[in-house]
Amino acid sequence: MSLIPLKKALMFGLSVTLTAGLAGTSYSTSVAAAAQPTSKVTVKASDEVFQVYESYIKKLKLAAARQYLLKNISKVSSYTAMIMTLHLENAQRAQLDASSAKLYPSNVQKALDTAYRKKKDLSYQTLLSLIKDAKIRSLLTEARDKGYKVGTGEGMYFLTMDYESYKPLKPYVTKDIAAYIDIMATKTNQPALSDAAIVITWDELIKRTLAMEKFVKSYPKSNRAKAVKLEYEGMKFNVFYGSSNTPVYNENSKHQFMTLLPKVRKAYEAAIQKGTADSQLLITIKQALKLLDSNEGKWSKELDRYLKKQIEL
Protein backbone atom coordinates (compact mmCIF):
# COMPACT_ATOMS: atom_id res chain seq x y z
CA MET A 1 0.00 0.00 0.00
CA SER A 2 1.36 3.37 -0.98
CA LEU A 3 1.24 5.66 2.03
CA ILE A 4 2.71 9.04 2.91
CA PRO A 5 4.98 8.99 6.00
CA LEU A 6 3.77 11.87 8.10
CA LYS A 7 7.20 12.39 9.61
CA LYS A 8 8.40 13.38 6.15
CA ALA A 9 5.37 15.48 5.31
CA LEU A 10 5.64 19.22 5.31
CA MET A 11 4.18 20.95 8.33
CA PHE A 12 1.70 23.65 7.41
CA GLY A 13 -0.19 26.37 9.21
CA LEU A 14 2.92 28.56 9.47
CA SER A 15 3.36 32.20 8.50
CA VAL A 16 3.46 32.76 4.76
CA THR A 17 5.60 35.12 2.79
CA LEU A 18 3.66 37.99 1.31
CA THR A 19 4.87 39.25 -2.03
CA ALA A 20 3.33 42.70 -1.90
CA GLY A 21 5.92 45.42 -1.67
CA LEU A 22 5.97 48.59 0.38
CA ALA A 23 5.20 52.09 -0.81
CA GLY A 24 4.78 52.45 -4.54
CA THR A 25 3.52 48.92 -5.12
CA SER A 26 0.55 48.46 -7.43
CA TYR A 27 -2.23 46.47 -5.78
CA SER A 28 -4.96 44.46 -7.45
CA THR A 29 -8.23 43.48 -5.79
CA SER A 30 -11.48 41.89 -6.86
CA VAL A 31 -13.36 44.71 -5.18
CA ALA A 32 -13.60 47.87 -7.26
CA ALA A 33 -12.04 50.97 -5.76
CA ALA A 34 -14.45 53.40 -4.17
CA ALA A 35 -15.46 56.33 -6.35
CA GLN A 36 -13.09 59.24 -5.96
CA PRO A 37 -14.50 62.21 -4.03
CA THR A 38 -15.48 65.13 -6.21
CA SER A 39 -14.41 67.76 -3.70
CA LYS A 40 -10.87 68.99 -4.35
CA VAL A 41 -10.53 69.78 -0.64
CA THR A 42 -11.44 66.19 0.26
CA VAL A 43 -9.05 64.78 -2.33
CA LYS A 44 -6.24 66.95 -1.05
CA ALA A 45 -6.91 65.92 2.55
CA SER A 46 -6.91 62.26 1.53
CA ASP A 47 -3.62 62.67 -0.35
CA GLU A 48 -2.06 64.40 2.65
CA VAL A 49 -3.16 61.59 4.97
CA PHE A 50 -1.64 59.01 2.67
CA GLN A 51 1.65 60.89 2.28
CA VAL A 52 2.09 61.46 6.00
CA TYR A 53 1.35 57.81 6.66
CA GLU A 54 3.77 56.62 4.00
CA SER A 55 6.52 58.75 5.53
CA TYR A 56 6.10 56.80 8.79
CA ILE A 57 6.14 53.49 6.93
CA LYS A 58 9.27 54.34 4.92
CA LYS A 59 11.07 55.33 8.11
CA LEU A 60 9.84 52.09 9.76
CA LYS A 61 8.14 54.01 12.55
CA LEU A 62 5.56 51.31 13.15
CA ALA A 63 4.06 52.63 16.36
CA ALA A 64 3.50 56.06 14.85
CA ALA A 65 2.17 54.54 11.62
CA ARG A 66 -0.35 52.36 13.48
CA GLN A 67 -1.66 55.20 15.59
CA TYR A 68 -1.90 57.54 12.60
CA LEU A 69 -3.71 54.90 10.53
CA LEU A 70 -6.25 54.17 13.26
CA LYS A 71 -6.94 57.86 13.70
CA ASN A 72 -7.12 58.86 10.04
CA ILE A 73 -8.25 55.85 8.01
CA SER A 74 -11.82 57.21 7.81
CA LYS A 75 -10.52 60.16 5.78
CA VAL A 76 -9.45 58.11 2.75
CA SER A 77 -11.20 55.88 0.20
CA SER A 78 -11.58 52.15 0.81
CA TYR A 79 -8.98 51.46 -1.89
CA THR A 80 -6.43 53.78 -0.26
CA ALA A 81 -7.30 52.36 3.15
CA MET A 82 -6.61 48.90 1.78
CA ILE A 83 -3.17 49.95 0.50
CA MET A 84 -2.30 51.64 3.80
CA THR A 85 -3.39 48.57 5.78
CA LEU A 86 -1.36 46.17 3.67
CA HIS A 87 1.67 48.46 3.85
CA LEU A 88 1.43 48.26 7.64
CA GLU A 89 1.28 44.48 7.51
CA ASN A 90 4.29 44.35 5.19
CA ALA A 91 6.30 46.65 7.45
CA GLN A 92 5.37 44.70 10.57
CA ARG A 93 6.40 41.43 8.94
CA ALA A 94 9.67 42.97 7.78
CA GLN A 95 10.54 43.97 11.34
CA LEU A 96 9.10 40.96 13.13
CA ASP A 97 12.27 38.90 13.46
CA ALA A 98 14.39 41.82 14.65
CA SER A 99 11.73 42.92 17.13
CA SER A 100 11.25 39.38 18.40
CA ALA A 101 14.99 38.96 18.91
CA LYS A 102 14.84 41.61 21.64
CA LEU A 103 13.00 39.08 23.80
CA TYR A 104 15.64 36.37 23.43
CA PRO A 105 18.16 37.41 26.12
CA SER A 106 17.96 34.99 29.06
CA ASN A 107 16.86 37.58 31.61
CA VAL A 108 13.92 38.62 29.41
CA GLN A 109 12.94 35.00 28.76
CA LYS A 110 13.10 34.25 32.49
CA ALA A 111 10.93 37.24 33.37
CA LEU A 112 8.35 36.30 30.75
CA ASP A 113 8.33 32.68 31.88
CA THR A 114 7.88 33.61 35.53
CA ALA A 115 4.99 35.92 34.66
CA TYR A 116 3.35 33.39 32.35
CA ARG A 117 3.49 30.61 34.94
CA LYS A 118 1.62 32.80 37.41
CA LYS A 119 -1.39 33.66 35.25
CA LYS A 120 -1.07 31.56 32.06
CA ASP A 121 -1.76 34.78 30.18
CA LEU A 122 0.51 36.55 27.71
CA SER A 123 -1.58 39.69 27.24
CA TYR A 124 0.36 42.92 27.65
CA GLN A 125 -1.94 43.98 30.46
CA THR A 126 -1.05 40.91 32.50
CA LEU A 127 2.66 40.88 31.64
CA LEU A 128 3.10 44.56 32.48
CA SER A 129 1.26 44.10 35.76
CA LEU A 130 3.61 41.31 36.81
CA ILE A 131 7.00 42.39 35.39
CA LYS A 132 8.68 45.25 37.26
CA ASP A 133 12.00 45.49 35.40
CA ALA A 134 11.91 48.88 33.60
CA LYS A 135 13.93 47.76 30.56
CA ILE A 136 11.78 44.66 29.99
CA ARG A 137 8.61 46.70 30.44
CA SER A 138 9.93 49.11 27.82
CA LEU A 139 10.51 46.25 25.37
CA LEU A 140 6.97 44.98 25.90
CA THR A 141 5.46 48.44 25.49
CA GLU A 142 7.39 48.95 22.26
CA ALA A 143 6.24 45.58 20.90
CA ARG A 144 2.63 46.34 21.83
CA ASP A 145 2.69 49.75 20.16
CA LYS A 146 4.21 48.28 16.99
CA GLY A 147 1.29 45.86 16.71
CA TYR A 148 2.84 42.58 17.84
CA LYS A 149 1.77 40.17 20.54
CA VAL A 150 3.76 37.75 22.68
CA GLY A 151 3.58 34.05 21.90
CA THR A 152 5.23 30.92 23.25
CA GLY A 153 6.28 27.54 21.90
CA GLU A 154 8.83 24.87 22.73
CA GLY A 155 9.80 26.74 25.90
CA MET A 156 10.57 30.04 24.15
CA TYR A 157 8.82 33.41 24.14
CA PHE A 158 8.67 35.47 20.97
CA LEU A 159 6.61 38.05 19.10
CA THR A 160 4.00 37.28 16.50
CA MET A 161 1.59 39.29 14.36
CA ASP A 162 -1.49 40.61 16.15
CA TYR A 163 -4.24 40.54 13.53
CA GLU A 164 -6.92 41.10 16.14
CA SER A 165 -5.63 44.67 16.36
CA TYR A 166 -6.47 45.10 12.64
CA LYS A 167 -10.19 44.62 13.19
CA PRO A 168 -10.95 48.33 13.81
CA LEU A 169 -9.74 48.89 10.21
CA LYS A 170 -12.27 46.48 8.67
CA PRO A 171 -15.09 48.98 8.07
CA TYR A 172 -12.78 51.15 5.96
CA VAL A 173 -10.95 48.67 3.74
CA THR A 174 -12.14 46.67 0.73
CA LYS A 175 -14.26 43.57 1.38
CA ASP A 176 -11.49 41.13 0.50
CA ILE A 177 -9.06 42.60 3.01
CA ALA A 178 -11.75 42.74 5.70
CA ALA A 179 -12.27 39.00 5.14
CA TYR A 180 -8.49 38.45 5.12
CA ILE A 181 -8.18 40.19 8.49
CA ASP A 182 -10.79 37.84 9.97
CA ILE A 183 -9.00 34.75 8.61
CA MET A 184 -5.62 35.85 9.93
CA ALA A 185 -7.01 36.95 13.31
CA THR A 186 -8.60 33.53 13.79
CA LYS A 187 -5.32 31.88 12.90
CA THR A 188 -3.10 33.94 15.18
CA ASN A 189 -5.53 34.17 18.11
CA GLN A 190 -5.43 30.39 18.40
CA PRO A 191 -2.89 28.69 16.11
CA ALA A 192 -4.04 25.41 14.62
CA LEU A 193 -0.70 23.70 15.14
CA SER A 194 1.82 23.67 17.96
CA ASP A 195 4.87 21.42 18.30
CA ALA A 196 3.78 19.36 15.24
CA ALA A 197 0.33 18.71 16.75
CA ILE A 198 -3.10 19.98 15.76
CA VAL A 199 -4.33 21.83 18.84
CA ILE A 200 -7.82 22.87 17.73
CA THR A 201 -10.81 20.61 17.19
CA TRP A 202 -11.36 18.84 13.89
CA ASP A 203 -14.58 20.81 13.48
CA GLU A 204 -12.68 24.07 13.87
CA LEU A 205 -9.91 22.91 11.53
CA ILE A 206 -12.43 22.17 8.78
CA LYS A 207 -14.29 25.43 9.45
CA ARG A 208 -11.11 27.48 9.03
CA THR A 209 -10.16 25.59 5.88
CA LEU A 210 -13.58 26.25 4.39
CA ALA A 211 -13.23 29.97 5.16
CA MET A 212 -9.93 30.04 3.27
CA GLU A 213 -11.43 28.13 0.35
CA LYS A 214 -14.29 30.64 0.20
CA PHE A 215 -11.85 33.57 0.22
CA VAL A 216 -9.79 32.19 -2.66
CA LYS A 217 -12.95 31.50 -4.66
CA SER A 218 -14.59 34.87 -3.86
CA TYR A 219 -11.54 37.10 -4.30
CA PRO A 220 -9.23 35.51 -6.89
CA LYS A 221 -7.70 38.89 -7.78
CA SER A 222 -7.16 40.05 -4.21
CA ASN A 223 -3.65 41.10 -3.30
CA ARG A 224 -3.77 38.45 -0.55
CA ALA A 225 -5.31 35.65 -2.64
CA LYS A 226 -1.94 33.96 -3.14
CA ALA A 227 -1.12 34.12 0.58
CA VAL A 228 -4.49 32.70 1.61
CA LYS A 229 -4.29 29.98 -1.05
CA LEU A 230 -0.96 28.86 0.39
CA GLU A 231 -2.53 28.74 3.85
CA TYR A 232 -5.50 26.86 2.42
CA GLU A 233 -3.35 24.19 0.80
CA GLY A 234 -1.57 23.59 4.09
CA MET A 235 -4.78 23.37 6.08
CA LYS A 236 -6.31 21.06 3.48
CA PHE A 237 -3.36 18.71 3.94
CA ASN A 238 -3.98 18.70 7.70
CA VAL A 239 -7.68 17.94 7.19
CA PHE A 240 -6.90 14.72 5.31
CA TYR A 241 -3.50 13.70 6.69
CA GLY A 242 -3.31 15.31 10.12
CA SER A 243 0.16 16.19 11.37
CA SER A 244 3.16 14.31 12.71
CA ASN A 245 1.73 14.22 16.23
CA THR A 246 -1.98 14.22 15.36
CA PRO A 247 -3.07 11.28 13.20
CA VAL A 248 -6.22 11.02 11.13
CA TYR A 249 -6.15 7.22 10.87
CA ASN A 250 -5.45 4.33 13.17
CA GLU A 251 -2.19 2.72 12.08
CA ASN A 252 -0.86 -0.83 12.12
CA SER A 253 2.54 -1.94 13.44
CA LYS A 254 4.15 -0.80 10.18
CA HIS A 255 2.69 2.71 10.60
CA GLN A 256 0.36 2.20 7.68
CA PHE A 257 -3.05 3.86 7.68
CA MET A 258 -5.92 1.53 8.57
CA THR A 259 -9.24 3.02 9.74
CA LEU A 260 -10.38 6.62 10.11
CA LEU A 261 -10.48 7.82 13.71
CA PRO A 262 -14.12 8.09 14.91
CA LYS A 263 -13.74 11.75 15.98
CA VAL A 264 -12.43 12.67 12.54
CA ARG A 265 -15.28 10.85 10.79
CA LYS A 266 -17.75 12.67 13.02
CA ALA A 267 -16.24 16.03 12.06
CA TYR A 268 -16.24 15.07 8.36
CA GLU A 269 -19.90 14.08 8.46
CA ALA A 270 -20.91 17.20 10.39
CA ALA A 271 -19.11 19.43 7.87
CA ILE A 272 -20.90 17.78 4.95
CA GLN A 273 -24.27 18.20 6.67
CA LYS A 274 -23.71 21.89 7.42
CA GLY A 275 -21.80 22.83 4.26
CA THR A 276 -22.63 23.83 0.73
CA ALA A 277 -22.55 21.66 -2.37
CA ASP A 278 -20.14 23.93 -4.26
CA SER A 279 -17.23 23.42 -1.85
CA GLN A 280 -14.45 21.33 -3.37
CA LEU A 281 -13.14 20.56 0.11
CA LEU A 282 -16.49 19.06 1.13
CA ILE A 283 -16.74 17.18 -2.16
CA THR A 284 -13.34 15.64 -1.38
CA ILE A 285 -14.38 14.75 2.17
CA LYS A 286 -17.59 13.13 0.89
CA GLN A 287 -15.72 11.07 -1.71
CA ALA A 288 -13.09 10.00 0.83
CA LEU A 289 -15.83 8.68 3.13
CA LYS A 290 -17.46 6.91 0.19
CA LEU A 291 -14.20 5.17 -0.71
CA LEU A 292 -13.63 4.18 2.91
CA ASP A 293 -17.14 2.74 3.23
CA SER A 294 -16.72 0.77 0.02
CA ASN A 295 -13.67 -0.92 1.58
CA GLU A 296 -15.15 -1.83 4.97
CA GLY A 297 -13.97 1.45 6.46
CA LYS A 298 -10.32 0.80 5.66
CA TRP A 299 -7.69 2.82 3.84
CA SER A 300 -7.13 1.65 0.27
CA LYS A 301 -4.84 2.26 -2.67
CA GLU A 302 -7.76 3.88 -4.46
CA LEU A 303 -8.27 6.35 -1.60
CA ASP A 304 -4.54 6.99 -1.48
CA ARG A 305 -4.47 7.88 -5.18
CA TYR A 306 -7.59 10.02 -4.91
CA LEU A 307 -6.33 12.13 -1.99
CA LYS A 308 -2.88 12.58 -3.49
CA LYS A 309 -4.52 13.97 -6.62
CA GLN A 310 -6.77 16.30 -4.63
CA ILE A 311 -4.00 17.53 -2.37
CA GLU A 312 -1.56 17.64 -5.32
CA LEU A 313 1.13 15.58 -3.55
pLDDT in tens, 298-308: 999 999 999 99
What confidence score (pLDDT) does residue 312 get? 83
Tens-digit pLDDT profile for residues 48-71: 999 999 999 999 999 999 999 999
Distance CA(254)–CA(199), nearest Å, equals 26
Tens-digit pLDDT profile for residues 276-291: 889 999 999 999 999 9
What confidence score (pLDDT) does residue 40 get? 54
pLDDT above 70 (res 133): yes
Confidence of residue 43 (pLDDT cuts 50, 70, 90): low
3-state secondary structure of 57: helix
Confidence of residue 297 (pLDDT cuts 50, 70, 90): very high
The set of long-range contacts for 102-111, using a CB threshold of 8 Å and a minimum separation of 24, is 102/139, 102/142, 102/143, 103/139, 103/143, 103/150, 103/157, 103/158, 103/159, 104/156, 104/158, 107/133, 107/136, 108/136, 108/139, 108/157, 109/156, 109/157, 111/136
| Mean per-residue pLDDT, 158-163 | 97
Mean pLDDT over each residue of the chain, to the nearest integer: 88
pTM for this entry: 0.85
